[in-house]
Amino acid sequence: MISEKKPRIVITGIGLTAPVGNNLTEYRQALLSEKSGISNIEHRYVGSVHAGICNFDTFKYQNRKELRSGTRAGSISIYCANEALIDSALVWDRTDKSKCGIFLGITEHGNVETENEILNLQQFNGETRFWNHYHNPRTVANSPAGETSIKLGITGPHYTIGAACAAGNSGIIQGVQQLLLHEVDVAFAGGISECASSFGIFASFKSQNALACHSDPTKASRPFDINRNGIVVSEGGCVYILERLEDAKKRDAKIYAEIIGYSLNSDAYSFVLPFPERQKECMQLAIKKAGIHPNEVDLISTHATGTKFGDINEIEAIKNVFTDSCPFVNNTKGFIGHTMGAAGALELAGNIPSFADNMIHPCMNIDNIDPKCRLDNLVIPPPYKTENINIIMNNSFGMLGINSAVIIKRYICNN
């Protein structure tokens, strides 16, 4: 019998890889010490570009055969899911795998594999017998989550969620909803991205004049700065273990935070241009679902990517939601670039330790703030020590006008 009382959903495990670290401790330390994860890489056809590349141990959970048949996105997913599982201290051999689910947001998938196969085909005069026979399973939309399901033996639902750059938040939201419906008891939820391996995404952003360029790669990603000139494409992943609070308490689990509100909506406006009115409505709906007043939000993690209209419109939306007083506001992309499908999940993770240490990591590379992005309580270096962080809102917006917001709360025992 399912209880009529709405379950509370909590985070009990975090596994991640980012351009500045391969676990939460490394990642958080990089954000507080203002360490950049951006460097220059060489890509065919586009030459030298700025990018954020992860340096995790691909052999930690996979062997050579598995790596050859799988994908980069799948490898990132498997690494993060295993790290989250270990962090959660779930007794895996006693866990019902049919009641576990995998819900991973992604921006795009299959581009890397298709680009590589076409290049290979050109080298063999178009002989299709040289086309990799793993290409179909590599490029189906559920591939990253499916690869993780096979590796962990999870027989419950698995799928990837195409939600552009709002995908990381969307994966979390889907995990929450599946737990609320009692479809699963454990949700592996978050977002992943392999975009930095695709030359096509760099070429497309470059043709839109939206690809960042700077003489110093560590200065290339600069949201809110007047001299920002575009996006730095990065890869990464972050997977959370989500459980119902009652289940987490039964096993005396470590609880990072409680997810108290969320929202998804659509601009219905443009392929690429954001619409601040809908972003405002998205934040307002998340606050309403959380059952709080805007003044109770202590910190907003912004989506801002370093594009002119994206940054300005998000600030406008924030000002229209928080009319009485603005919470602290920060941004992570100056450190790690835009991790696309992983962005929402990774950026939330970077702020979760604030519940424990009351430190707020700053924005990075704001040398001259754009006057239209000026905002009270925008945190610039050094990191800011505050008295109390209880509630965090995480914004994540994407192409074709998809908006998301997730609100988490400090968990206090016996509350």
pLDDT tens digits for 87-134? 999 999 999 999 999 999 999 888 898 988 898 888 888 888 888 888
Specify the DSSP class assigned to residue 362: P
Residues 144-163 as b or e (16 or more Cβ within 10 Å = b): bbbbbbebbebebbbbbbbb
Instruction: Yes or no: say if 54 and 224 are a contact pair by the CB < 8 Å rule.
Output: no
Q: What is the pLDDT of residue 104?
A: 98
Helix (H, G, I), strand (E, B) or coil at 92: helix
Q: What is the pLDDT of residue 109?
A: 87
The 10s digit of each residue's pLDDT in 26-43 is: 999 999 999 999 999 999
The mean pLDDT of 19-23, rounded to a whole number, is: 98
User: How many Å apart are CA 348 and CA 384, to the nearest integer?
Assistant: 17
- β pairing state of 100-106 and 158-162: parallel
Tokens, residue 254: 């470590």
Domains and CATH numbers, the chain: 9-250 (3.40.47.10), 261-409 (3.40.47.10)
The 10s digit of each residue's pLDDT in 152-179 is: 999 999 999 999 999 999 999 999 999 9
User: How many Å apart are CA 294 and CA 244, to the nearest integer?
Assistant: 25
* Direct distance between the N- and C-terminal alpha carbons of the chain, in angstroms, rounded to an integer: 24
Q: What is the pLDDT of residue 415?
A: 66
Backbone dihedral angles phi then psi of residue 354, each to the nearest 5 degrees: -60, -25
